[in-house]
Amino acid sequence: MEKMRAARSVELGKMVCELTEVRPPEEGEVIVRTQLAAICGSDLHIVFMGSGIAPLNGDWNFPHGFPGHEGIGEVVESRFAGLKIKERVLTVPGRPYTRCFAETLTLPGSSCITVPEDLPLAELLMAQQLGTAIFALRQNPVDVVGKNVMVMGQGSAGVFFAYLLKRAGAAKVIVSDLSEARLDLGRQVSGTDVAVIANGGNVKEAVMDHTGGEGVDYLVEAVGRSESQLESVEYMKLDGKMLFFGLPDTSKPIPFNFQEFFRKRITANTTYGTQFEPGLASFRLALDLIIKKEIDVSKLVSHTFPIEQIDEAMHQAHEGAKSTLKVALSF
């Protein structure tokens, strides 16, 4: 049976690259040879914190390629009528197919979207993250025209939310992050109005200064840390709305200021499952924006590692310098 290189999480905080067997496709499935994959913040929470998962059989024994879910590559075998061999596709697998950290990926053909051959892989790959942001806003629509909004976190997801909210007509988009490099990227991609280094109480001070002391009408938490989820309520206006997008960094209960949440009459939503949206509509919208050059994603990938260096890549994404943006894996 054909072998492939694939990453595997062997213990909390450690991944290795191994040879493993390629699973033959069943009816309705394809095999995609991965050309580039990206590390998502949710991958880091799983690998380094065990967030949202339970070890299999009582030990740390996860499938090869898991938990990668952002990939792009070429179809090398197809038992799906809609895809032919040699077509380039964006792979958007839902569980249990989230195994993009592997040289080949066997998944339903319906979890693939054909992409152009003449655009850089790294740019097309960004449609995965952009698609999830589009899906989140479509699932929980909020009228932001003329409103003050805030996005906490300027990783790729936060940058995309800022872009989409500005595009939707927000009067003022305020963003925060620990990294000046990520804030600079956000300014370039989304045209944010106010960028604040997240350092102590200066974020709340800046938010109140730019909203006349009222707080923001709408907020997206795109950091995925207990501390930022706790802080988010402080920045809200009376009757404001918010979206918790970032996956929590722990499976344990997290602190929450319900008293302030209650008295401000805040409405909060979460979202999950873009990969199961009928027709993968949000991913297709994201691709359309990238292909038409309506958003510049060319600078989002800051580091690329070969799959053999999966452990270094994960640590770069998790602990790297504040200049780290999106980390990719090449095959």
Residues 147 and 229 in one domain: yes
Q: Which of 248, 270, 292 is the last residue of a domain?
A: 270
Least confident of 170-179, 210-219, 242-251: 242-251
Question: For residue 171, what pLDDT is reported?
Answer: 97
1 pLDDT band (50/70/90 cuts)?
Answer: low
Rounded Cα–Cα distance for residues 261 and 236 (Å): 9
Q: Are strands 148-152 and 216-221 parallel, antiparallel or unpaired?
A: parallel
Residues 39 and 139 in one domain: no
Question: For residue 59, what pLDDT is reported?
Answer: 67
Question: For residue 138, what pLDDT is reported?
Answer: 97
Residues 86 and 49 in one domain: yes
Residues 178 and 264 in one domain: yes
**Residue at 108 is within a domain:** yes
Question: For residue 250, what pLDDT is reported?
Answer: 79
pLDDT in tens, 91-142: 999 989 999 999 999 999 999 999 999 999 999 999 999 999 999 999 999 9
Residues 182 and 113 in one domain: no
Is it the case that residue 199 has pLDDT exceeding 90? no
Rounded Cα–Cα distance for residues 190 and 297 (Å): 10
Given 3-state DSSP classes, what are the helix, strand and coil percentages for the chain, each rounded to the nearest 5?
35, 30, 40
Mean pLDDT of the chain: 94
Domain that holds residue 304: 3-126+300-330
Mean pLDDT of the region 21-42 = 97
Say how many domains are in the chain: 2
Question: For residue 214, what pLDDT is reported?
Answer: 98
pLDDT in tens, 313-323: 999 999 877 77
Residues 29 and 50 in one domain: yes
pLDDT more than 70, % of the chain: 98
Residues 15 and 68 in one domain: yes
Residues 158 and 262 in one domain: yes
Helix (H) or strand (E) run with residue 258 in it = helix 258-263
Residues 141 and 264 in one domain: yes
CATH classification of the domain holding 216: 3.40.50.720
**Mapped to the 3 state alphabet, what secondary structure does 125-167 carry?**
HCHHHHHHHHHHHHHCCCCCECCEEEEECCCHHHHHHHHHHHH
Q: Are 314 and 15 in contact (CB under 8 A)?
A: yes
Task: Look at residues 70, 133, 129 and name the one whose alpha carbon lies nearest to residue 271.
Answer: 133
Residues 239 and 254 in one domain: yes
**Residue at 292 is within a domain:** no
27 pLDDT band (50/70/90 cuts)?
Answer: very high
Question: For residue 320, what pLDDT is reported?
Answer: 77
**Residue at 320 is within a domain:** yes
CATH classification of the domain holding 322: 3.90.180.10
Question: For residue 229, what pLDDT is reported?
Answer: 92
Residues 208 and 265 in one domain: yes
Mean pLDDT of the region 210-223 = 97
Tell which wins on pLDDT, 217 or 61.
Answer: 217
pLDDT in tens, 48-75: 988 777 655 456 778 999 999 999 999 9
Tell which wins on pLDDT, 272 or 283.
Answer: 283
Question: For residue 125, what pLDDT is reported?
Answer: 98
**Residue at 285 is within a domain:** no
**Residue at 206 is within a domain:** yes
Q: Are 77 and 30 in contact (CB under 8 A)?
A: yes
**Residue at 287 is within a domain:** no
pLDDT more than 90, % of the chain: 85
